[in-house]
């Protein structure tokens, strides 16, 4: 039996991240990057696919956990019949080699502890050769190698292709485990001092968190979401992954299992909004610079996603040796959606630069020429069908959201020229494009009989993305068409009050079998739309209900199943936490419409 998705907490070093279960087991960790092969893959298979558990040996142990202040240091307090201990899990921001540190502190009485380490490289497939050397355990297989330092008071031995360490920790005692990865062809990396690393890591996070300028009733939730977004940042490049996991299912036992360890352009605008609204100009600038590097090139080569450093080829493959989370197969790495045509990303990119300019980020000399090329290209292609926001794997359509974002691209280009006479471009032509897109969407994307914007031209289906129409400024929040769309979505596209992306029943537009849960960011979009339409009490009620769906350490996945009462999809999900931050600022009085 797999733990629930929400049973996991996150630790990371701004280059990769690990998921730690309530039972003290790290069941997912890719090294050295988010998109590298996993050395712990029990999350998507079984314990034989790699994990590392540090916990009391007592069967009667009970755990309670929390993050230490505004940081990514996880404290788990274990109560047992003989005493209590605290296990501190963290990953210090690395100098060169990634480290996972697990410190055990005795709080009361004495507790027998066990560390069980089962390394399996290449997503749980490769069993390394392990030997004792230099007072440590050294594991190697192919390009990967790991050093494990264990406490001197522990008894360490091999059993069942795992490395076990037993020790007893009394009140006031401390014991540290340190796992360090490095390429197998390189010399052993410099050892860190775990207790110094703990204090340095805490100081780093508290210094960063103190820069947050949100001062409202939801500060704890906002701060935790911002820390999570920071944790999903790949520090060397500034890229932000959608999630640190792959193939966590949108339906238990289903096939909607995708790899989210990449950087989506679509997230750019909302990510920038979240970071800038909270005062994080440096991070927003790094993301903007990543965006500039990633999209450089011919406009018709623009992709919807890239690798952590802007890599373009992300081939999709299946891993048949992993059974999948709760038998949800296949397990996929890479993402074939990278080849899709999604016209809305041009609007996302233009809006990202617009937000950056408004926030006062210094403009890069070549940034405007890239933006001008993108909008010029979109002018000739926006009338074409595409796969749309949700990366459908069915036929291309004229998706309403894609057309709305084409309007956004033209609008932001026009406004850039109006605000800065140094920018060159044919503003009159772009104004004409803006007017034509607006007219077409209102004519073909709105069903006057039902009183709602639809998923695509001629469709009767709904799409939660139409809730973004007031947020991007396409129509005001109190426009009757917006109000009608909000009410229709609430009536026809919700499950227990939470919003689905679109209907997956019958002949679904996405071309995939099975269903999925409610999509959390869409529910935040509903709260935003309610707030922009003047229904603030309803917006606040919706937002507070969404806060209640977070797990005990404040994390959200991609989706939620109201019937089963559990989270679904890749985890933790940047899009969900971006939605939380944006809605919190909107309710505080900040603008969520442009």
* Residue 460's CATH number: 1.50.10.10
Q: What is the domain extent for residue 98?
A: 5-186
Residue pair 583/527 in contact by the 8 Å Cβ criterion: yes
Tell me if 427 is assigned to some domain: yes
Domain C-terminal end among 186, 220, 246: 186
pLDDT digits (tens, 9 = 90+) for 246-277: 999 999 999 999 999 999 988 777 788 888 88
- Structure tokens that stand for 464 in this block: 């939660």
Structural domains in the chain (count)? 2
Tell me if 197 is assigned to some domain: no
- Structure tokens that stand for 394 in this block: 């069915």
Asked if 159 and 239 sit in the same domain, the reply is no
Tell me if 102 is assigned to some domain: yes
pLDDT digits (tens, 9 = 90+) for 157-187: 999 999 999 999 999 999 999 999 999 999 9
Asked if 50 and 181 sit in the same domain, the reply is yes
Asked if 115 and 223 sit in the same domain, the reply is no
Residue with tokens 């490395």: 163
| pLDDT category of residue 1 using cuts at 50, 70 and 90 | confident
Distances (CA, A) of 113 to 110, 481, 496: 10, 62, 43
User: Is residue 29's pLDDT more than 80?
Assistant: yes
Tell me if 394 is assigned to some domain: yes
Asked if 319 and 272 sit in the same domain, the reply is yes
Residue 506: predicted pLDDT: 58
Residue pair 521/575 in contact by the 8 Å Cβ criterion: yes
Averaged pLDDT for residues 115-122: 98
DSSP helix/strand/coil, 414? helix
Residue 212: predicted pLDDT: 96
Asked if 169 and 227 sit in the same domain, the reply is no
- Structure tokens that stand for 38 in this block: 């996993």
Tell me if 195 is assigned to some domain: no
Residue pair 257/330 in contact by the 8 Å Cβ criterion: yes
User: Is residue 499's pLDDT more than 60?
Assistant: yes
CB atoms within 10 A of CB 64: 11
> What is the pLDDT of the chain when averaged over all its residues?
94
pLDDT digits (tens, 9 = 90+) for 503-546: 877 556 777 777 899 999 999 999 999 999 999 999 999 999 99
User: Is residue 359's pLDDT more than 90?
Assistant: no
Name the more confident of 361 and 116.
Answer: 116
Tell me if 199 is assigned to some domain: no
Residue 589: predicted pLDDT: 76
Residue pair 43/28 in contact by the 8 Å Cβ criterion: yes
Asked if 229 and 156 sit in the same domain, the reply is no
Residue 590: predicted pLDDT: 54
Residue 268: predicted pLDDT: 72
Averaged pLDDT for residues 494-506: 88
Asked if 225 and 273 sit in the same domain, the reply is yes
Asked if 172 and 320 sit in the same domain, the reply is no
Residue 392: predicted pLDDT: 83
* Residue 174's CATH number: 2.70.98.50
Tell me if 235 is assigned to some domain: yes
The residue among 11, 17, 35, 28 whose CA lies nearest residue 309 is 35
Residue 592: predicted pLDDT: 53
Which DSSP string corresponds to 205-262? HHHHHTT----STTHHHHHHHHHHHHHTEETTTTEE-S-S-B---SSTTSS---B--S
Residue with tokens 């979109």: 378
pLDDT digits (tens, 9 = 90+) for 299-357: 888 899 999 999 999 999 999 999 999 999 999 999 999 999 999 999 999 998 999 88
Tell me if 465 is assigned to some domain: yes
| pLDDT category of residue 394 using cuts at 50, 70 and 90 | confident
CA distance 180 to 145: 8
The set of residues, in sequence order, having a beta carbon less than 8 Å from that of 448 and lying 6+ positions away, is none
Residue 364: predicted pLDDT: 80
Asked if 414 and 536 sit in the same domain, the reply is yes
Beta bridge partners of 145: 140, 182
Domain C-terminal end among 117, 151, 186: 186
User: Is residue 24's pLDDT more than 70?
Assistant: yes
Residue 593: predicted pLDDT: 52
Asked if 331 and 443 sit in the same domain, the reply is yes
Asked if 273 and 152 sit in the same domain, the reply is no
Asked if 70 and 216 sit in the same domain, the reply is no
């Amino acid at each position: 039996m797999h733990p629930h998705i929400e049973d996991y907490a996150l630790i990371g070093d701004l280059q990769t991240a690990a998921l730690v279960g309530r039972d003290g087991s790290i069941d997912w960790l890719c090294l050295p990057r988010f998109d590298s092969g996993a050395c712990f893959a029990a999350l998507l298979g079984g314990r034989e696919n790699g994990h590392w558990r540090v916990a009391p040996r007592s069967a009667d142990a009970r755990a309670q956990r929390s993050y230490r202040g505004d940081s990514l240091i996880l404290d788990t307090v274990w109560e047992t019949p003989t005493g209590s201990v605290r296990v501190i899990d963290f990953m210090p921001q690395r100098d060169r080699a990634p480290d996972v540190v697990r410190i055990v502190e005795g709080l009361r009485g004495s507790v027998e502890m066990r560390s069980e380490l089962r390394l399996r490289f290449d997503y749980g497939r490769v069993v390394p050769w392990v030997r004792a050397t230099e007072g440590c355990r050294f594991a190697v297989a192919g390009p990967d190698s790991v050093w494990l330092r264990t406490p001197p008071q522990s008894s360490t031995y091999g059993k069942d292709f795992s490395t076990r360490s037993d020790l007893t920790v009394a009140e006031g005692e401390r014991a540290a485990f340190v796992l360090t990865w490095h390429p197998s062809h390189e010399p052993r990396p410099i050892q860190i001092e775990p207790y110094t690393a703990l204090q340095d890591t805490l100081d780093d996070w508290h210094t960063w968190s103190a820069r947050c300028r949100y001062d409202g009733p939801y500060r704890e939730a906002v701060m935790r979401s911002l820390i999570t977004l920071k944790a999903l940042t790949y520090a060397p490049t500034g890229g932000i992954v959608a999630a640190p996991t792959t193939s966590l299912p949108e339906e238990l036992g289903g096939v909607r299992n995708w790899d989210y360890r990449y950087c989506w352009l679509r997230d750019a605008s909302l990510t920038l909004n979240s970071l800038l609204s909270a005062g994080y100009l440096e991070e927003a600038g790094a993301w903007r610079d990543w965006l500039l590097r990633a999209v450089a090139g011919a406009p018709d080569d623009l992709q919807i996603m890239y690798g952590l450093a802007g890599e373009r080829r992300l081939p999709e493959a299946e891993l048949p040796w992993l059974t999948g989370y709760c038998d949800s197969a296949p397990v996929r790495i890479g993402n074939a959606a990278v080849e899709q045509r999604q016209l809305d990303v041009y609007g996302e990119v233009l809006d990202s630069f617009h937000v950056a300019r408004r926030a006062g980020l210094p403009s890069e000399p070549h940034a405007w020429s890239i933006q001008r090329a993108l909008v010029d290209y979109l002018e000739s292609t926006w009338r074409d069908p595409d796969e749309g926001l949700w990366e459908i794997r069915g036929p291309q359509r004229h998706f309403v959201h894609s057309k709305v974002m084409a309007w956004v691209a033209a609008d932001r280009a026009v406004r850039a020229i109006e605000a800065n006479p140094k920018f060159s471009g044919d503003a009159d032509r772009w104004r004409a494009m803006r007017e034509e897109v607006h007219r077409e969407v209102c004519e073909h994307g709105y069903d006057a009989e039902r009183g709602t914007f639809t998923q695509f031209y001629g469709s009767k289906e709904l799409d939660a993305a139409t809730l973004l129409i007031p947020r991007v400024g396409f129509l005001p929040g109190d426009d009757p068409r917006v109000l009608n769309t909000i009410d229709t979505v609430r009536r026809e596209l919700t499950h227990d009050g939470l919003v689905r992306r679109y209907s997956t029943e019958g002949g679904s537009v996405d071309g995939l079998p099975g269903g999925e849960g409610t999509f959390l960011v869409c529910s935040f979009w509903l709260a935003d739309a309610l707030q922009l339409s003047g229904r603030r009490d309803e917006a606040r009620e919706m937002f507070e209900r969404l806060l209640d769906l977070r797990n005990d350490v404040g994390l959200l996945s991609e989706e939620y199943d109201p019937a089963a009462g559990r989270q679904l999809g890749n985890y933790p999900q940047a899009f969900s936490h971006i939605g939380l931050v944006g809605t919190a600022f909107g309710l505080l009085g900040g603008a969520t419409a442009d």
